[in-house]
């Protein structure tokens, strides 16, 4: 994974919010202010992306789950694409309270989704009246929208990536409560101190979000592949020792 200042400039990752929307704790990552708009120091953005990527790769090599979270409209599709590209879970519709703190309850909702899908697959849905079947299918659509991205998450994620830490404050709070480390894109109206690995950048622009998540996704995918190769090598060595 490689990222450079030019790429970040091209997608406007340096654009912050107007000065009236400002969190003073982001000040160390600022370049200055232009026409009432805060400008983010893009070199620091680049540096922080590399730091976050190195951190994420440690988990990816061990095939640990990394949860992508971004529910604002311009982030929804990008979050889904980035997570799926590197085989990770995601939340992109709405953060459901208790997703981490009441994980067992969430698992029950996912189990219900799978139960409905089984009714469809086996043809047993036809045993219900049209009205009942319609209600069940509506429930399925709702469950898919809410939990489809985490349906294969069998335990708490080992780390979480958040787009817009201010927007996803509830998700951040749950992660901190459960001891899940955080990587977060932080704009000039956000607090970088609430995440372990802040990435100062424009978290409203589609292209800015897309580029940063693509880079992180690429780093995760690379590390997962490295982990698979290392595991295969270890298995081969153990097999050879057993044959000797």
The pLDDT tens digits for 14-57 are 999 998 889 999 999 999 999 889 999 999 999 999 999 999 99
pLDDT recorded at residue 236? 76
Separation between Cα atoms, residue 221 and residue 83, nearest integer Å: 10
Residues 111-124, mean pLDDT to the nearest whole number: 96
- pTM for this model (two decimals): 0.93
pLDDT band with cut points at 50, 70 and 90 for residue 171:
very high
Distance (Å) of CA 38 to CA 24, 30, 31: 11, 7, 8
Phi and psi angles of residue 100, each rounded to the nearest 5 degrees, phi first: -105, -45
Whole-number CA gyration radius for the chain: 21
Q: Rounded mean pLDDT of the chain?
A: 94
Sheet with 90-91: list strands edge to edge: 90-91, 66-69, 159-163, 182-186, 197-200
Q: Which residues touch 97 (CB under 8 Å, ≥6 apart)?
A: 170, 174
Separation between Cα atoms, residue 91 and residue 93, nearest integer Å: 6
pLDDT band with cut points at 50, 70 and 90 for residue 243:
low
pLDDT recorded at residue 76? 97
When comparing pLDDT for 199 and 20, which is higher?
Answer: 199
Assign 132 to helix, strand or coil.
Answer: helix
pLDDT band with cut points at 50, 70 and 90 for residue 237:
confident
pLDDT recorded at residue 231? 79
Q: Is pLDDT of 235 > 80? A: no
pLDDT recorded at residue 215? 98
Separation between Cα atoms, residue 155 and residue 161, nearest integer Å: 16
Domain ranges of the chain: 5-96+156-243, 101-153
pLDDT recorded at residue 227? 87
pLDDT band with cut points at 50, 70 and 90 for residue 244:
low
Q: Is 199 exposed, middle or buried (0-12, 13-18, 19+ CB in 10 A)?
A: buried
The pLDDT tens digits for 66-102 are 999 999 999 999 999 999 999 999 999 999 999 999 9
| CA 129, 132, 138, 144 torsion-angle sign | negative
Q: Which CATH number fits domain 5-96+156-243: 3.40.50.10490, 3.40.50.720, 3.20.20.70, 3.40.190.170?
A: 3.40.50.10490
pLDDT band with cut points at 50, 70 and 90 for residue 196:
very high
Count of Cβ atoms closer than 10 Å to residue 67 Cβ: 25
66: β partners: 159
CA 75 to chain centre: 10
Q: Are 116 and 142 in contact (CB under 8 A)?
A: no
Provide the percentage of residues in the chain whose pLDDT is more than 90. Answer: 89
pLDDT recorded at residue 233? 77
The pLDDT tens digits for 123-162 are 999 999 999 999 999 999 999 999 999 999 999 999 999 9
Which long-range contacts (C-beta less than 8 Å, at least 24 apart) are formed by 110-113? 110/143, 110/147, 110/150, 110/151, 112/139, 112/143, 113/140, 113/143, 113/144, 113/147, 113/148, 113/151
């Amino acid at each position: 994974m490689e990222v450079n200042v030019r790429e970040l400039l091209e997608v406007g990752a340096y654009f912050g919010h107007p000065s009236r929307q400002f969190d003073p704790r982001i000040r160390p990552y600022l370049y200055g202010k232009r026409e009432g708009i805060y400008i983010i120091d893009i070199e620091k953005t680049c540096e922080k992306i590399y730091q976050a990527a190195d951190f994420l790769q440690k988990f990816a090599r061990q095939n640990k789950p990394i949860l992508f979270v971004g529910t604002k409209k311009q982030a929804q599709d990008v979050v889904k694409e980035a997570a799926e590209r590197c085989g990770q879970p995601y939340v992109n519709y709405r953060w459901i309270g208790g997703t981490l703190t009441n994980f067992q309850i969430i698992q029950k909702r996912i189990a219900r989704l799978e139960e409905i899908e089984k009714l469809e697959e086996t043809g047993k849905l036809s045993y219900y009246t049209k009205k009942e079947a319609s209600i069940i299918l509506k429930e399925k659509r709702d469950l898919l929208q809410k939990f489809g991205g985490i349906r294969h998450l069998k335990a708490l994620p080992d780390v979480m990536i958040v787009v817009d830490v201010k927007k996803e404050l509830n998700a951040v709070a749950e992660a901190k409560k459960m001891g899940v480390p955080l990587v977060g894109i932080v704009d000039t109206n956000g607090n970088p101190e609430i995440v372990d690995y802040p990435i100062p950048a424009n978290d409203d622009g589609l292209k800015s979000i897309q580029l940063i998540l693509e880079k992180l996704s690429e780093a995760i995918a690379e590390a997962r592949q490295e982990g698979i190769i290392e595991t295969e090598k270890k298995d081969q060595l153990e097999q050879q020792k057993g044959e000797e």
